[in-house]
Structure 1
């Protein structure tokens, strides 16, 4: 049937674009870091993404503004998901390679499943425990040879993993709340705006004019992080989840592969045996997290 064929094509294109855009965040961040301080990149990204999403939500689509306790919910979500998660992530990327950054991002679903046991009263299963161990081992394996060449620091890797934990907590917090009829564009736009606002005092305090060169490459990095990553990838992911939540998770397996392709292409990151083993372990961990137990 033509409709079925079109639906399959739409699903395939959306999944591939999501995985590619989502995985490109680490490389785009590393490119921007060559010209600006990490928090400056973050603030510009948040500001641009929030402006576009809020214009779409309120001026184009005419969605309502948050009211009452919804502002508090959005503020807390923005604090976890933007201020802490992405603030720590962009700082960590100063001393972590683009490949490792994208590999760590791919482990988020496993951390979310693990923390949901404590915050959403989900049942802790052996596949989740095994997946957490295997994914962590994968990231450490891929990172191991990079310590010797100072391409990765222990502090940077720990901060990166901490940022993944904060993202997972933010996702659990978001899913535990009732948002009534508030649109996703409204929630995403305002949480991005407020998260960036909370981070602004820290950015101003550490700002050094001589460390920032606002050239075309810097703005390309910011624009890519704001539009394809923060807006398009997130909207594609939400569409995939709404269409088929079980199958949507399978697209996450492509993220480490895309991430290392971009890192090797743009940043000339080396792909070693450790890299291959690390990626395989992370993908295996993601697969384990999908197993059902009786």
Structure 2
């Protein structure tokens, strides 16, 4: 791998982790003003509309054809409807820090699912990296776990949403997209995923529980543009290069998530956080470099 490509991958990984980890805090802010599915629908339609305008009107990229529509629908259901639909519900019952912590479980699910279904070999360096990263995440989370609140139902919903995210990741990496631009895939999967949520929104909507104030629009705009557009574009770029290595960047999400939650939501941060960061960085270094283990 050339130094330039490696630099691009590392930059994309860090940018993805920061933006994606900010979603939990942004969601918590939005939930003070509106119901979860109201936030989700506005976010997905807004983000998807922008991406489709850019990819089809500005860049003149082609529309998906035939089987591609089915592939995008499946990916949108797993990655948007199922994962983010459940995630926004779970965030009503867990803290922003714990929401970010849950993201760190995805590399484990992705590695194990890939090994089980597609006979991917798990090398010793991958196991070591997983161990270091997981220890780092647990250390960084320790103060938060002592003071955060969570319900059993919230944790279960959060766990199921992470499984859906991992399934979506594996599905995306295994499908032949016929050189369909990433922006086109992301735009349509976001729109379709939002459309699939409309019946749930209709069934649960209560106008008394929604206030379209500054907090609501700030949350929606951040979730739509930096997260749904920016972070997902970086994520798909990383997946296209190597889905297994891409999954390891998810370990940085809790670290950034703790920092963001500390600055905005006043959640605790301590020496455990910094030690955890060191473990995560070591784990990422091992899996990104060509170390024979």
Q: 1:157 to 1:174 in 2, by over 3 A?
A: same
What is the SS of the residue equivalent to 1:66?
coil
Contact 1:253–1:283 (Cα < 8 Å) also in 2: no
1:125, CA displacement in angstroms?
A: 5.4
Contact 2:252–2:280 (Cα < 8 Å) also in 1: no
What is the SS of the residue equivalent to 1:94?
coil
What is the SS of the residue equivalent to 1:179?
coil
Further displaced range: 246-255 or 229-238: 246-255
Further displaced range: 265-274 or 155-164: 265-274
Aligned ranges for residues 103-118 of structure 1 at < 5 Å? 103-118=101-116
Further displaced range: 218-227 or 283-292: 283-292
1:49, CA displacement in angstroms?
A: 0.7
Aligned ranges for residues 1-294 of structure 1 at < 5 Å? 14-124=12-122, 151-239=149-237, 251-271=249-269
Q: 1:247 to 1:192 in 2, by over 3 A?
A: closer
What is the SS of the residue equivalent to 1:214?
coil
- CA distance in 2: counterparts of 1:139 and 1:160, whole angstroms: 17
1:105, CA displacement in angstroms?
A: 1.7
- CA distance in 1: counterparts of 2:21 and 2:186, whole angstroms: 19
Contact 2:259–2:269 (Cα < 8 Å) also in 1: no
Contact 1:114–1:128 (Cα < 8 Å) also in 2: no
Q: 1:204 to 1:222 in 2, by over 3 A?
A: same
* TM-score normalised over the length of structure 2: 0.82
How many positions carry a matched residue from both structures?
Answer: 291
Contact 2:103–2:251 (Cα < 8 Å) also in 1: no
What is the SS of the residue equivalent to 2:119?
coil
Further displaced range: 201-210 or 118-127: 118-127
- CA distance in 2: counterparts of 1:161 and 1:139, whole angstroms: 16
1:99, CA displacement in angstroms?
A: 1.0
Contact 1:99–1:269 (Cα < 8 Å) also in 2: yes
Contact 1:79–1:195 (Cα < 8 Å) also in 2: yes
Q: 1:240 to 1:220 in 2, by over 3 A?
A: same
1:69, CA displacement in angstroms?
A: 1.0
What is the SS of the residue equivalent to 2:92?
helix
1:268, CA displacement in angstroms?
A: 1.1
Q: 1:91 to 1:141 in 2, by over 3 A?
A: farther
- CA distance in 2: counterparts of 1:162 and 1:282, whole angstroms: 24
* TM-score normalised over the length of structure 1: 0.82
- CA distance in 2: counterparts of 1:202 and 1:97, whole angstroms: 24
| Gapped regions of structure 2 (runs ≥ 5) | none
